[in-house]
Each structure stands twice: as structure tokens, then as C-alpha cells.
């Protein structure tokens, strides 16, 4: 099974806060969003977006940024 090793770091924080983990290539961006929330110990209150090959992806919330693609259907192995 193909996997990716991902490192997530928080910008502008000292000392640096980061996590590294492996996920399956078929992981959706929505699932990655929730994995990051869990890895950081967050309660889905820290929103973020993914910028991949010049395009933005993310979880849309009412009153927030909208995205043209369904993050539940877009996988890491584009």
C-alpha cells in the first residue's frame, strides 16, 4: 500500500509545534483535515486549507471560505 509521510508545522509559534505521521495515498483531504485536528489535539476549531499545485482545497463552513471541489472525493494521490 502506498503511503505518504506528512509533517504539519504551526507557523509563527516559538518553539515550533509540529507533528509527523503517515497516511494512505487514498486518504481524502477531508480525512486529512480530521487527522490533523486529532494529531494536534484540536476540537475542529482550527480551520485551514490545503494549497496543492496552485489550487486551494478545504472544508467549507457556513460563513467561511467556499471551495469548488468536494474534499471527501479528492485524495492525496491526485
Domain encompassing residue 50? 3-58
What is the domain count for the chain? 1
List, for residues 13-27, the tens digit of each pLDDT value. 999 999 999 999 999
In a domain, 73, yes or no: no
- Sign of CA pseudo-dihedral 37, 50, 27, 70: positive
In a domain, 68, yes or no: no
Confidence at residue 47, expressed as pLDDT on a 0 to 100 scale: 67
List, for residues 14-69, the tens digit of each pLDDT value. 999 999 999 999 999 889 988 988 888 888 776 677 887 888 888 777 776 778 88
In a domain, 11, yes or no: yes
Confidence at residue 56, expressed as pLDDT on a 0 to 100 scale: 82
Backbone angles phi, psi at 30, to 5 degrees: -65, -45
Confidence at residue 27, expressed as pLDDT on a 0 to 100 scale: 95
Sequential DSSP letters for 7-34: EEE-TT-SS--EEEEEEETT-BHHHHHH
Tally of CB atoms within 10 A around 71: 19
Threshold 0.85, pTM exceeds: no
Report helix, strand or coil for 75.
Answer: strand
Percentages helix, strand, coil for the chain, rounded to the nearest 5? 15, 30, 55
Amino acid at each position: 500500500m502506498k503511503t505518504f509521510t506528512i509533517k504539519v508545522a504551526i507557523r509563527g509559534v516559538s518553539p515550533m509545534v509540529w507533528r509527523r505521521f503517515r497516511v494512505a495515498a487514498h486518504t481524502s483531504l477531508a480525512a486529512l483535515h480530521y487527522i490533523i485536528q486529532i494529531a494536534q489535539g484540536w476540537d475542529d476549531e482550527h480551520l485551514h486549507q490545503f494549497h496543492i499545485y496552485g489550487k486551494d482545497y478545504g472544508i467549507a463552513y457556513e460563513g467561511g471560505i467556499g471551495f469548488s471541489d468536494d474534499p471527501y472525493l479528492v485524495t492525496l494521490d491526485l
